[in-house]
Structure 1
């Protein structure tokens, strides 16, 4: 179970890192022209950058606390927060008519985050 949870954390951290870097460093106009990124054209640059920063923090919070052994409870807390972020992402994609593909992808990330949060809170928590 521990290995599966580490894989889930690593996969979600990679998703968060890629999403965060793109939202923070890629111009909003370019993001708005990419598939699934059309919503960024309607959002302010500050909103897009803010979400990117949250995703970068999530990438850190999903793995670093457990790796360094400082406040490892932040891993499942971050995963629970990721669930909320994915709910918002699904709502946004539905409202912008981006199609089921992006909603399904966000749903998969949400399921992985639920597994990680549940696993690290209950099934295989980090011990001090």
Structure 2
């Protein structure tokens, strides 16, 4: 199970880091053009905050366990990711973007697995 937790946490961290850096570094217009229409519903500051939270989650999912420094931060980061995905699903539901909800639900399930696996250990 430990290997599965590392793999899932690594995949989540990679997705989180990539998505977060994109939200932090690109303009709203470029994000909308790349298919992220939801950014039109939020101010630039909120979009950058979400991006920053995703970058922090990426580090929180991996570094505490890897360095064995406060490993309790891994499931806390995973719970943060679950909450982020709940917010994302609400946003996509309001925008009638059902395909995005499916992706959010899968990522939520992965994050819940990481949280459960680390709290249960």
Q: TM-score range by the shorter chain?
A: over 0.9
Deviates more, 1:25-34 or 1:68-77: 25-34
Residues of 2 paired with 1:108 and 1:62: CA distance?
17
Alignment of 1:15-94 (within 5 A): 15-35=15-35, 37-94=36-93
User: Does residue 7 of the first structure (1) align with residue 7 of the second (2)?
Assistant: yes
Give the CA deviation at 1:39: 1.1
Cα deviation, 1:11-57, whole Å, max 9, x if unaligned, reads 1001100110110001111112222x111012110000000000000
> 1:74, 1:115 → 2: CA distance?
15
Partner Cα distance (2:61, 2:89) in 1:
21
Structure 1 gap segments, 5+ residues each: none
Counterparts of 1:41 and 1:29, CA distance in 2: 9
Q: What's the counterpart of residue 101 of structure 1? A: 99
| Residues 1:112 and 2:110 aligned together | yes
CA contact (8 A) 1:76 1:116 kept: yes
Would you say the 8 A contact 1:83–1:114 is kept in 2?
yes
Structure 1: distance between partners of 2:78 and 2:102: 18
Structure with higher helix content: 2
How far apart, in 2, do the equivalents of 1:53 and 1:112 lie? 20
